[in-house]
Amino acid sequence: MLLTLPDVLNKEELTVVRDLLARGNFIDGKLSAGDEAIRVKNNQELSASDELMAPLNNLVMGKLIKHPVYLAAALPLKIATPFYAKYGKGMTYGNHVDDPVMGPIGQRYRTDLSITVFLNEPEDYEGGELTIQTSFGDQTVKLKAGDAIMYPSGSTHRVAEVTRGERIVAVTWLQSMVRDPARRELLYKLSQARDILIDKPNGNEETELVSNTYINLVRMWADT
Ligand code: NI
């Protein structure tokens, strides 16, 4: 399932993030790439040791982990601190799948879902589309600043070459409590039905039935 997370960051927050990133020390993205990705990765990433990481993560992750669509659709167990990537003119990231397991020993997590948060406006650059292969064909994504896309980490994806301007994104990965994507999708749909019922005035029997079923299905399928 590909899902847009709208308005993870608002205009003011985006300005703060971009101002911080403008002062950051960016290094070759190949340094963080796995065996497969290193062949096709050509971008720049904020150095993990940069002192700007903490304020950036507080802002970006602070907003992302409270996003209602993220919570309902990902059912997250562990989420990584993001990479902040820049693609200048001529930069690209060819077809790859993301590494299956990330994190240092003792803090390993399986990557079920990948998230790209768009940090500048689509008009600011040409090219730079994220294309994700799905069973319904290729899906190409270039969202407005502040929005994010969430997609299966195991799906083959690429970033088209930037031909003008600069593409700025934050990318991160998460392990879901529910490993099976089909189960996760069912739970997401049921949670939407539950939200609609809960929003209706006067609680009723179907609200309780749907809500209790949702809660107990999460209990049945979640691993922590
Ligand atoms: Ni990737």
pLDDT at 34: 78
Category of 7 on φ-ψ map: left (φ > 0), alpha (ψ -120 to 50) or beta: left
For residue 201, pLDDT beyond 90: no
Question: How many angstroms separate the alpha carbon of residue 156 from the centre of ligand 1?
Answer: 8
For residue 203, pLDDT beyond 80: no
Q: Which CATH number fits domain 3-176: 3.40.449.10, 3.60.150.10, 2.60.120.620, 3.40.50.1100?
A: 2.60.120.620
Q: What is the residue whose two structure tokens read 């539950």?
A: 194
Determine what percent of the chain is predicted with pLDDT higher than 90.
Answer: 91
What is the average pLDDT across 122-133?
98
Question: How many angstroms separate the alpha carbon of residue 193 from the centre of ligand 1?
Answer: 32
What is the average pLDDT across 64-89?
97
Six-digit token pair at 115?
């998230």
Question: How many angstroms separate the alpha carbon of residue 146 from the centre of ligand 1?
Answer: 19
pLDDT at 95: 96
pLDDT at 32: 84
What is the average pLDDT across 177-194?
98
DSSP 3-state of 109: strand
DSSP element (H, E) containing 77: strand 76-79
Q: Residue 116: beta bridge partners?
A: 149, 171
**Residues with Cβ–ion distance below 5 A, ligand 1:** 98
pLDDT at 46: 93
**Alpha-carbon gap, residue 41 to 86, rounded angstroms:** 12
pLDDT at 220: 98
What is the average pLDDT across 171-199?
97
Question: How many angstroms separate the alpha carbon of residue 139 from the centre of ligand 1?
Answer: 14
Asked if 9 and 17 count as a contact pair (C-beta separation under 8 A), the reply is: yes
pLDDT band at 58 (very low <50, low <70, confident <90, very high): very high
pLDDT at 38: 84
User: For the chain, what is the mean pLDDT?
Assistant: 95
Q: Give residue 8's Cα distance to chain centre.
A: 10
For residue 213, pLDDT beyond 90: yes
Question: How many angstroms separate the alpha carbon of residue 158 from the centre of ligand 1?
Answer: 7
* Domain limits, the chain: 3-176, 181-221
Q: What is the pLDDT of residues 137-156, one digit of tens each?
A: 999 999 999 999 999 999 99
What is the average pLDDT across 83-91?
96
Q: pTM of this prediction? A: 0.95
